Amino acid sequence: MPKPGSTIISNQTSSQRLLKFSGSISKCSAQSVAYAKCVVENSGSLKKDHCAKEFIEFKNCFKNAISKK
């Protein structure tokens, strides 16, 4: 049996986290598109917090989706 912290256990945990992440982020596609659209449309003049509203909506959606798993 592998010891805690070994590569096998770490890889299993990483895979589980990746599956949880991908499933959660897919629930926030509208928010991620809105954020990406804001960034792309303002790429020539983008300043800090320019797309903060869109980012916060995406972040909150993701946090809610991941906490429900």
pLDDT in tens, 18-45: 777 777 778 899 999 999 999 999 989 9
Distance CA 8, CA 13 (A): 9
- Does residue 22 sit within a domain? yes
- Does residue 41 sit within a domain? yes
Between the alpha carbon of residue 53 and those of residues 9, 39, 57, the distances in Å are 39, 12, 6
Does residue 35 contact residue 52 with C-beta atoms inside 8 Å?
A: no
The domain tally of the chain equals 1
- Does residue 17 sit within a domain? yes
Q: Which domain holds residue 39?
A: 7-67
- Does residue 2 sit within a domain? no
What's the whole-number average pLDDT of the chain? 82
pLDDT surpassing 90 at residue 3: no
Confidence (pLDDT) at 65: 86
- Does residue 46 sit within a domain? yes
Residue 28: Cβ-neighbour burial (10 angstroms; 0-12, 13-18, 19+):
buried
Instruction: Answer whether 0.95 is exceeded by the pTM.
Output: no
Nearest to 69 by CA among 3, 15, 25: 25
15 vs 55 pLDDT, higher one: 55
pLDDT surpassing 70 at residue 69: no
